[in-house]
Amino acid sequence: MKKGQNNQAPGISLSLPKKKILRGADNFTALFRQSTTLRGSLIHFRYRLTPKDPSVIALDDSLPLVTGKSMWEIAFVAPKRLGNAVLRNRVKRQMREAFRRQQAHFSADIPEDRTVQALFIAQKAPLDSEQVGSEISTLIDQFRKKLHTKKPQTLSDPLE
């Protein structure tokens, strides 16, 4: 196999583009102020559902073109209490890689009229890549179950 090629099915991208990364202090403030938290032993997952950006232009009925935010935005955090910058960067890299492999599973059940802003927060370090992968997979499964079991929380809904 040549460099740059991978063994994935055609048409399925496993990349994590920059436009999917949550950015901006206002977004983080809103996420910490009003969100749902799922707790794992190694990683916590915070998320909030917001109405989709109204700037959607439909070229035809089958192919909507979204000019605003994407369907989901994600961030990865390793607090300073975990250790030095080298260790924190390694933990974030491990979380990004584990999520990148699970992103299709993550986005499968997000309602079409909603945008998800989410944050993975490491609680312990150093972490084994397999531990991180299984923890993120478990948190994504919990997230998907929550989407199916209750009415999606919006900005106007009270906190739990």
Domains of the chain: 19-54+64-149 (3.30.230.10)
Q: Count the Cβ atoms, other than its own, within 10 Å of residue 103.
A: 17
> Peptide bond before 126: cis, by omega within 30 degrees of 0?
yes
Percentage of residues of the chain with pLDDT beyond 90: 52
Least confident of 25-29, 103-107, 142-146, 154-158: 154-158
Structure tokens at 145: 């179950």
Q: What share of the chain is helix, strand, coil (3-state, %, to 5)?
A: 35, 25, 40
Q: State the pLDDT at residue 4.
A: 47
Determine if the pTM surpasses 0.85: no
The secondary structure element, H or E, covering residue 66 is strand 63-66
- Res 54 pLDDT > 70: no
